[in-house]
Structure 1
């Protein structure tokens, strides 16, 4: 009775844990929707996209004017500058031409109010920089899309894992019930002196192992639920309960990695950005045409705004030689483009290998599932027969425990095979999605 009481207390402890944390039922579609709205990986990708858009706006300086205002207080006894200050202040008199005064002007103040205007007209290299920035927005958009697809895949994998854990929980609970039934029968026979102590201890070990496995499953369910909460950006500590879900191919099994997948398309767009950058570097050899204007107010007193003057003009500038800087920059950009081309080719080859491996996993999992279907039927029948014979004293305790363990293991293996198939289908969709 003491051992039976211990088992009942242990089982009640498991049930109490489960009762304290009542699972919250969630459907796969709900989990995916919450993740798409609140997942932090997606939010970061969206922020990167906003940054790229803001960088494009910075290139509006290509044609928009730049206006600068300044107020400067100066003081000098330099003969040339002192006379220049007076000229700018429109304050020169005949006495200022006295050689003694020209050579030793003394401290001469000047308060300069200045407004500068610069207006770009033709800058072909800057135009290419704007085009490159616009392409970066497209790349960021594709990267955001791929991040959303990755989050969908990860959430689905966690949901499938959680679904498997609940299936395993049912199997282990059933095994625990069977083990306890065997223990009760063995205990009664032992009390009657019909069985040995070793038989009772073997059954007790089986029950304890099953209880330990049950506890591990509860912990794994809690851990997987926390990971799912993290993907949905929800508080930790909630235990989720899944609904039965079955994935299959939307259309047909895709055998080739699509080159218009979001991440691959982003890399292809990156190659285009290098083309634009190389073209922009070549155009830096072309002349630039820009307009400028300046308006000044000069006075010998602070906050004085008496003498006004302006100058304006158009400047044509041409960097004829820059010490091979442009030439070497183009060579570097060309090499970087070649590197990205190799990375893209390697990525496609790697993903193709992943796809073939995933297809094999799907086929292997389906075959294993079918094989285990027959094995489980046979193991279940074998256990039923052995239980009857055990009650008649015709088989040993080890035989009945071995049969019970074998049945539980095969049920768990079948659930794992289903998980492997569903997870592989989900990953196949991630590898081949182009929506």
Structure 2
């Protein structure tokens, strides 16, 4: 018996492990060295705000279905029981006759069908635009996710490259420190060059530590953006050579307001407000509905025999309700709704101006950053040439160590400026694409 239980336990454990393993294999995961497209795809599948937007769409569908359910027959069942303490009477001729019995019960089934209802008409017309509005909200969340994840990736890319530059500087300064120590020990120079090299090395090591600590935060922030938990690991793949090819943008593109999600959202609100105005006009229409019921009445003086016999009855009819006067409320609601339409028209005008300003700013910033990047790239080449020349002259005793330190500082500064300019261009390109409405969430 015990052996059988052990076998069953092992089988169940194996099935459980297989289920967990299969679930883990089915779930999306990032590759060992994730590229930017990998991060974007993962974020669009796993980020919380995307799931929330998609759930909002599902909630919207349920709300639409709930609102439209009023067009279907509404079936209700009612049951009642009354104990007549004093039975009603009626006088017929010179006789007093009891009208009823002590125990009365009823079971009623009724079906109601709306035939004309302004509220249901509005719900039917508005369903299309509510779906469109919810889908646009999801699209907006996806666009923001693509932009934020891309900027986070580019930020880490430039920081990783900056760390590499700092590490190369440390190696170079360490060599200079060793050379200065050797020259000082042989009496060629005084201890000034040696101390300056120590100071420069100490500052560069501090800079390295700062970059490493900030990188930790940037990786944590990117995890948050793509939907990874803090416990999950994240390693990235960088193709520095392809970054330059991704910087260029067609600056001849013109702004089309219809491509912007924000503009489409406001247009949808305008259409919904027009429907609201129409609904307020429909409130002058009557409400027409049909009903049918079937009932079983039970009557008896003895409670034990109450349900021994039933007295069926049934009725079909139409119900018409025509609101004639409501103190002018409907007229005021129509006027208010029209004013809200006018206000949305001005919101659209204001949004167009804002989108145009955003585009002009993004394009001007991108072009300025692109020019800064080209200048920084040229400065890196020049500073490398100057440093190599002064390094040779220092080794030959022509230049002082201060000249070498100045050339090295200029080189490091130009390299860092180049990286910052590269990030600014890549980030600015995303801003221009977002302003143009050309970010494709499906590709």
Taking the TM superposition and a 5 Å limit, the aligned residue runs for 1:1-40 are 24-40=32-48
Superposition deviation, residue 279 in structure 1: 0.4
SS of the residue corresponding to residue 242 of structure 1 reads coil
Contact 1:120 1:289 in 2 (8 A): yes
Secondary structure in 1 matching 2:257 = coil
Q: What's the offset of the Cα at 1:252?
A: 5.5
Inter-partner Cα distance in structure 2 for 1:200 and 1:122: 95
- Comparing 144-153 and 267-276, the one that deviates more: 144-153
8 Å CA contact retained: 2:277, 2:338: yes
Q: 1:25 is paired with a residue of what secondary structure? A: coil
Asked if the contact 2:373/2:425 (under 8 Å) is kept, the reply is no
Write out aligned runs for 1:16-415 (5 A): 24-77=32-85, 82-83=87-88, 98=96, 108-236=102-230, 238-244=233-239, 245-246=242-243, 247-248=246-247, 253-300=252-299, 301=303, 304=307, 306-415=310-419
Residues 297 and 346 of structure 1, relative CA distance in 2, 3 Å threshold = same
Query: What is the rounded CA distance, in whole Å, between the counterparts of 2:37 and 2:205 in structure 1?
Result: 33
Aligned length: 397
2:287, 2:35 → 1: CA distance? 61
CA RMSD of aligned residues (A): 2.8
Alpha-carbon distance in 2 for matches of 1:129, 1:325: 21
Moved more, 157-166 or 341-350: 341-350
Following superposition, the deviation at residue 239 of structure 1 comes to 4.1
- Give per-residue Cα distances to partners, 1:37-63, cap 9 Å, x unaligned: 222211111111112222221233342
Q: 1:206 to 1:249 in 2, by over 3 A?
A: closer
1:420 Cα deviation after fit: 0.9
Helix, strand or coil at the partner of 1:241: coil
Deviates more, 1:53-62 or 1:166-175: 53-62
Cα-to-partner distance string for 1:62-92 (whole Å, 9 max, x where unaligned):
4211011122333353x5xx439xxxxxxx9
Determine the structure 1 residue equivalent to 2:425: 421
SS of the aligned residue for 1:315 comes to strand
Q: Which moved more, 1:160-169 or 1:336-345?
A: 336-345
Task: Sort the Cα spacing of 1:98 and 1:201 in 2 relative to 1 into closer, same or farther, 3 A.
Answer: farther
In structure 2, C-alpha distance between the alignment counterparts of 1:250 and 1:112, rounded to whole Å: 78
SS in 1 for 2:236: strand
Instruction: State the partner residue of 2:20.
Output: none
Match of 2:327, SS state, is: coil
Question: Given that residues 362 and 435 in structure 2 are in contact (C-alpha distance below 8 angstroms), is that contact kept between their aligned partners in structure 1?
Answer: no
Structure 2: gaps of 5 or more residues: 1-30
TM-score normalised to the size of structure 2? 0.81
**Structure 1 position 322, deviation (Å):** 1.6
Which string of whole-angstrom CA distances, capped at 9 and with x for unpartnered residues, describes residues 159-188 of structure 1? 111211122122111111111111111222
For 1:205 and 1:323, the matched residues in 2 are separated by: 86
Would you say the 8 A contact 2:158–2:423 is kept in 1? Answer: yes
Distance 1:193 1:251, change over 3 A: closer
Q: Secondary structure at the match of 1:240?
A: coil
TM-score by length of 1: 0.83
Superposed CA deviations along residues 271-330 of structure 1, whole A, max 9, x for unmatched, are 011111110111111112111223332335488362222332101111111222222222
Q: List alignment gaps of at least 5 residues for structure 1.
A: 1-22, 85-91
Residue 23 of structure 2: aligned partner: none
Distance apart, 1:413 and its partner CA: 0.4
Whether the aligned pair in 1 keeps the contact of 2:247 and 2:425 (CA below 8 Å) is: no
- The CA deviation at 1:196 is 3.9
